[in-house]
Structure 1
Amino acid sequence: MNREELFAPPTAALPKISSSRKILVFAHTGREEARRAARAACRQLFEAGLTPVMERADLESLQEGWEKPVPVRVVRETVALVDIELGVVLGGDGSILRAAEKIRHTQIPLVGVNLGHVGFLAESEESDLTETVERIVNGEYVVEERMAIDVKAWANGQKIVDTWALNEASVEKGNREKMIEVVVEVDERPLSSFGCDGVVLATPTGSTAYAFSGGGPVVWPEVEAMLLVPLSAHALFSRPLVTSPNSTMAVELIRPDVSGVLWCDGRRTRDLPAGTRVEVSRSSKPVRLARIHPVPFSERLVAKFELPIHGWRGPITTGTTDRSEPAQD
């Protein structure tokens, strides 16, 4: 197959897929295992009568070593984003966050196939790729909406940041040798001021990410709430806080000689001058994730963190009389 056939321009003689369902495949193509998974996913989608679609740069990186390529359309060139049914992300949580950023302005749901480590946002593992694609082909998935946050920052009376995040926004020290001093606020009322390494402002989805590392609580995704988690705070009252989903949380840098750094989802960053005010509130636009295996979040926690559950016997069924007693020490 030549290059023209591989990239499948709109004029190509491919009538059987020209009006088919279009699936956008994202992959971290700098890794061989991701390239291998992307080739397999594209082939399986094509053979099932669906149209695999990729970004041009990702598709070009697949060509080397692809012995029997299949036609793949190019998003924004031969396929419009509005025509995409679903995005398949091959990688870890970072890859899913990157894909969510690229399609932020659309309604495209994402399903993740984990090629990384913990992969809390991913729906399945690499070993389940074939089953995942089969479920997509058969339309056997549900879409859930995850709360996102709007992030704004002001300095010297001007707005310097207007962005968003799925997991968290973090205000951190920019100089390793100097902690930042902040005052935190909820619903336009100050709560406390202290020195710290930073403050994480997170969603329930982000409760298992940076906020978790900072000692914050794990929050079930369906719980509507936001988190404020101080990092290495020098204060008697520096407990993580869980606020209303309708609250506005704010962090102000109060030392006149110390600046900071804003990170959103660990991907987008902006230097914050001394005196900057950062505000976080619930976004009106959630992130849509497709679920192939809708299991209870507690089961996902156990699997991802490999939590010990030995000794569990489950709920008592009414009428059961032969339930054995636990072993005695």
Structure 2
Amino acid sequence: MIIGCTGNYRKEEFYPILQKVHTILGNENIEFLISSDLEKNIEFNIPGDYTIMDFLELVDKCDILFAIGGDGTILSTVRRLEQNMIPIMGIHIGGLGFLSECTEKNLTESIHSILKNDYMVTQRMLLEVQITSENDEKQILWALNDIVVDHGPSARLLKAEVHVSNHYLNTFEGDGVIISTPTGSTAYSLSAGGPIIYPSMDSITVTPICPHSLSARPIVLRSAETITMSFPEPYDGISLAVDGQIKVRIDDQTQIQITKASHSAQIVSLLEDGYFKTLRTKMGWLGKVR
């Protein structure tokens, strides 16, 4: 087995975790590849054998990719993989962490489970957004969590006209609209009143942000649907954000089309009830109250 590694080198916990991973793998004589962008940004003095190489070259050679960081690290890693998807195991350092079951506390146990092939790979649906400008220039981006269209720096309400597979859905008037995957249902959409959706389901959720209407509610759609969004009134400075990491400034002449992507992210799961355990822990569910 060959294991690759990337991560968020800006976190102070990153380097000690990287050293522990390397030690565990070294004791098992596992080939370890480290993304070259880490070498450029931190000083390496890890004893033992490892190979540093370009990220995409590393992806072609390794069987599993370790991503050390928070959920944001996994989101950015999935995007960097483009369509060359391989299993990703998140090693969590940071805040909530819905996408990682491995932490510093269970690091050794988790890595040994990987080496014994005692794990599952869950397919996580991605969204593809095509942004078409007034002069017909197109940009395509992929999201694991969500695509958010909002009013940007303006304080004015934004009117967003949404169609589902050529059928008019609604014109949402408010702060914006979130289009989310099941994985993203526990992210921004949840904060805006959207439902929690099991991550292996095939669905797309449309959630209005602070709508100026008590009747505007989230709606869950089939993943086969095509969602288009346009803007019926002049508006400067509209913002489109992909997974909260890539932001594109658009205007009221921009056309947005969102579909299920043809490829999916492969996220390593170590426990059969790992997702529900994560929900209970991260949501602070208490269970039965006596």
Q: TM-score range by the shorter chain?
A: over 0.9
**Within 2, Cα distance between the matches of 1:60 and 1:186?**
45
Uncovered stretches (5+) of structure 1, i.e. residues with no partner: 1-20, 312-326
Q: Which deviates more, 139-148 or 71-80?
A: 71-80
> Paired residue for 1:56?
36
Q: Report the equivalent of 1:318.
A: none
1:228 to 199, 206, 209: 206
Would you say how many aligned residue pairs link Structure 1 and Structure 2? 290
Specify which structure has the bigger relative contact order, considering alpha-carbon pairs within 8 angstroms and separated by 6 or more residues.
Answer: 2
Aligned alpha-carbon RMSD (Å): 2.0
Question: More deviation in 155-164 or 125-134?
Answer: 155-164
> For residues 21-60 of structure 1, what are the structure 2 equivalents within 5 Å?
21-60=1-40
Residue 124 and residue 296 in structure 1: after superposition, are their counterparts in 2 closer, same or farther (change >3 A)?
A: closer
Secondary structure, counterpart of 1:130 in structure 2 = helix
Instruction: Specify the SS of the correspondent of 2:76.
Output: helix
Query: Do the aligned residues in 1 keep the contact of 2:127 with 2:144 (CA within 8 Å)?
Result: yes
How does 1:41-120 map onto structure 2 within 5 Å? 41-63=21-43, 66=45, 69-76=47-54, 80-120=58-98
Q: CA deviation at 1:258?
A: 3.2
User: Could you tell me whether the CA contact under 8 Å between 1:107 and 1:288 is conserved in 2?
Assistant: yes
Identify the structure with the greater strand proportion. 2
Aligned to 2:226: 248
The equivalent position to 1:161 in structure 2, one of 139, 146, 153, is 139
Which secondary structure state, in structure 1, belongs to the residue aligned with residue 25 of structure 2?
Answer: helix
Q: Identity rate of aligned residues, in percent?
A: 24
Match of 1:202 among 175, 180, 186: 180
Give the TM-score normalised by structure 1: 0.83
Change (3 A) 1:73 1:186: same
Structure 2 counterpart of 1:297 = 275
Does residue 271 in structure 1 map to residue 243 in structure 2?
Answer: no
For residues 22 and 231 of structure 1, the distance between their equivalents in structure 2, rounded to whole angstroms, comes to 44
Say if 1:77 and 1:291 are closer, same or farther in 2 by CA, change over 3 A.
closer
Q: Deviations over 1:69-121 (max 9, x none)?
A: 22221233896432110011111100111111122221311011211111001
TM-score by length of 2: 0.93
Give me the whole-angstrom Cα distance separating, in 1, the residues matched to 2:78 and 2:180.
17
Shift of residue 297, structure 1, vs aligned partner: 3.3
Q: Distance in 2 between matches of 1:77 and 1:284?
A: 22
